[in-house]
A = this chain, B = another copy of it.
């Protein structure tokens, strides 16, 4: 039995450091925290102590490089970004339940890239992204989400394939979403909703305002 199976691992990515209580509590309650290289200086300056630092290790300060030498895991691969390296590091170490924070809020192309990478990570582990505005969950088969009446829900298709929704205000029935916005700004009708996709889909649930 893998003793890490139920340990909550949080990856702090290179985007804007979280300010919302939900991602902040994920960090506070994490049993294991991985900092992407570019996020490490900031997290440490805020008093955080990472369990691992993963990435190119070219943006971490000399001081932190010495102080955290034991937990540095440099990975110079030019083909993948620090977030992907961190997810791979988790998987290699049997960490199968991963929460990503700090994945958005800076360069929008990084935001789009990091969100869409969730669809790839979903093949390796159980991964969600928790932002200052809500939670992204990648799915590739019928999935039920806990919800509440009025929850704001957006659905983004990565693959151009049909999907069907249940218990959302604007139902989608066996239709292909041909632009990203087409599945956005939907709303839950009750305690749960479900999505039945033929391809890879990323679901966003916004926090209550």
Contact = CB atoms under 8 A, between A and B. Distances in A.
Interface in A22-65: none
Given A113-B185, A179-B158, A106 B133 contact: yes
A208 to B, nearest CB: 12
B120 A108 contact: no
Contact of A107 (B112, B120, B133): B133
A124 to B, nearest CB: 14
A181 B136 CA distance: 16
Interface of A: prevailing SS: mixed
Interface string A107-131: 1111111111101100000000001
A104 B109 CA distance: 11
Contact of A119 (B107, B116, B179): B179
Interface in A161-198: 178-181, 184-185
Given A159-B178, A179-B158, A184 B109 contact: yes
Contact of A113 (B109, B110, B180): B180
A105 interface: yes
Contacts of A119: 179
